[in-house]
Structure 1
Amino acid sequence: MASGTIRYWAAAKAAAGTAEEQYEAGTLADALESARERHTERPDFARVLLRCSFLVDGDPVGKRAHDDVRLSDGGTVEVLPPFAGGSA
């Protein structure tokens, strides 16, 4: 299991109520599930995540299954909602 930082941007930051938080997870899927559990009192959070794209240590996740994206110790997950004019 790895530990690192999740950074939220724009609408994801607003929905989470924080700019960043720590993760302890082996995969992106595990980190996102833990984040959803931490923010159950913020119903918009899970909805925003469905529209987001992700960077793991600076690399775009794209269409890869989140279960297949391994996280590194000391790594960073960037949560990027669609920006004006964009789509997820």
Structure 2
Amino acid sequence: MGPEGERVARVETGITVRYWAAARAAAGIGAETFASPLTLDDLRARILERHPGSDRLPAVLAVCSVLVDGRQPGTPAGEQVLEAGMTVEFLPPFAGG
């Protein structure tokens, strides 16, 4: 089939999680993928299960701002359902002004 007849499928393998600054240091990685669907609260629990050796990660995640696909999650945030193809970012407080 030529380019005109080709369809490009978006491959959605799961929920992409990105860690920034102190969250990245505590997790020991910059990004990882989790199976979907999950709520945001379930995702946090799975992150901690996946990184049992990090003493700092629970405290860091507790103070992080969270973005889902570049936006703040809806209210109540922990109950938001995350689907394959979504990106969740954990951003710790940054110093400075």
> Structure 2-normalised TM-score?
0.77
Structure in which a larger fraction of residues adopt helix: 1
2:60 equivalent to 1:48: yes
Deviation per CA, 1:25-83: give whole Å up to 9, x if none: 421111111000111101101110011010011111276331x2111211100000001
Aligned length: 84
Structure in which a larger fraction of residues adopt strand: 1
Unaligned runs of 5+ in 2: 1-12
Task: Pick the structure with greater CA Rg.
Answer: 2
Identity of aligned residues (%): 48
Per mean C-alpha deviation after superposition, the further-off stretch among 18-27 and 40-49 is 18-27
Aligned position for 1:79: 90
Superposition RMSD in Å: 1.9
Q: Would the aligned equivalents of 1:52 and 1:80 in 2 still touch at CA under 8 Å?
A: yes
